[in-house]
Structure 1
Amino acid sequence: MKKVVLFPVTFCLMLLMTAFRPAAEIELIKKRVLSERVEILIPKGFEVMSEQQMDFNYARAQSRPSVIYTNSKEASISFTYTDNTADQDMIDMYAGNFYKTYSKQFKEAKWFGNGVKEIAGRKVGYLELMKPELGHEVYQLIFFTDVEGKLLMCTFTCADRQKPEWETVAKQIMNSIKANG
């Protein structure tokens, strides 16, 4: 009798557990970007955005990322290798300045975190927020560090409704960054 009662309970628990798992696990693969200066995990299936698409997307922007990996507009990770001088001692300063700038520029943003953490023995600054963009909300995890004396900015972006699926992946990407000093 006990076996008959346990089977339906166990079956229901298994159904509930599979219902709360993501529909598809997102596989990450190692990539070297910016002329081999940086090693980072990128979601499998993400491709480099074409020059034409980058020109279109950043036609009015003051600056354009050096490279963008995307999966057809659902999510993207961009890398901007700036001309700004940077070293490990400056990452805290950049983190504070970026937070102040983004807070003023995006007053309606919802903040999830910001600061500096150590990844692979190096300081990496980050901002994590949900901000308005072109009439809807986007989730962004922006992280940055120094690479060969210049500031590297990385931005993971997806639509607000996709945050539950991509937030953990975005943090895995950030935590995988290995840059030349």
Structure 2
Amino acid sequence: MKKALLLPVLSLMLLLMAARPAAEVELIKKRVLSERVEILIPKGFEVMSEQQMDFLYAKAQSRPSLIYTNNKQASISFTYTDNTADQDMIQMYTDNFIKTYSKQFPDARWFGKGLKEISGRQVGYLELMKPELGHEVYNLIFFTDVEGKLLMCTFTCADRQKPEWEMVAKQIMNSFKSNG
């Protein structure tokens, strides 16, 4: 009799374990870009070395100023550009980036785009799945002005990891604070 109950109970336990969300990702507060920005970064993410960034971006026109990654499964990059920016220009940048990405990646799947207020600042964002090197990549790109220049932040992971990282990426974006 006990053996007859064992299989349904085990099946139910497996089903419940599969339905529960992935382990919580712990986020820690970091100050980046010479203390200009305060943001949450997943614990265990390390700064990518200059050599790794040089290798990854050897053929790119520009490379990020800083990248945090967890062994290349997911990353958050910060690109502090030379482009002039202020709060009044963020809507224009948002519109331009939406147009550019839509044209450059016509097959992209969009999850969100627009402007939002984070810590009292206008922040533009694009959330999409786009093709990259033969597979799909989830991107949450957000940007604002910091000390008169445009700062772009990009969270990236493989398409199959989107369920695990999407909410974390949004928490990172929503934690953004400019100290300048």
Q: TM-score, normalised by structure 2?
A: 0.91
**What secondary structure is seen at the aligned counterpart in 1 of 2:58?**
coil
- Aligned residue number for residue 35 of structure 1: 34
Q: What does residue 120 of structure 2 align with?
A: 121
Gaps of 5+ in 1: 1-8
1:1-150 to structure 2, matched below 5 A, reads 16-150=15-149
**1:12: Cα distance to partner?**
7.7
Q: CA deviation at 1:180?
A: 2.8
Task: Provide the C-alpha distance between the structure 1 equivalents of 2:15 and 2:86, rounded to a whole number of angstroms.
Answer: 48
* Offset of residue 22 of structure 1: 2.8
Unaligned runs of at least 5 residues, structure 2: 1-7
Q: Deviations over 1:66-117 (max 9, x none)?
A: 0000000100000000000001100000000000000000111011110000
Q: Which whole-Å deviations, capped at 9, do the CAs of 1:4-35 have from their partners, x for residues lacking one?
A: xxxxx999877644422233211000000000
Distance 1:136 1:63 in 2: 22
- Equivalenced residue count is 174
Amino acid at match of 1:138: V
The residue type equivalent to 2:143 in the other structure is F
CA RMSD after TM alignment: 1.8
Counterpart of 2:4 in structure 1 is none
SS of residue paired to 1:151: strand
SS, match of residue 98 in structure 2: helix
Partner Cα separation in structure 2 for residue 117 and residue 161 of structure 1 = 27
Percent identity among equivalent residues? 84
Letter in 2 for 1:58: Y
Q: Hey, what's the Cα distance between the residues in 1 that align with 2:19 and 2:168? A: 17
The separation in 2 between residues aligned to 1:99 and 1:72, in whole angstroms, is: 30
How far apart are the structure 2 equivalents of 1:112 and 1:85? 28
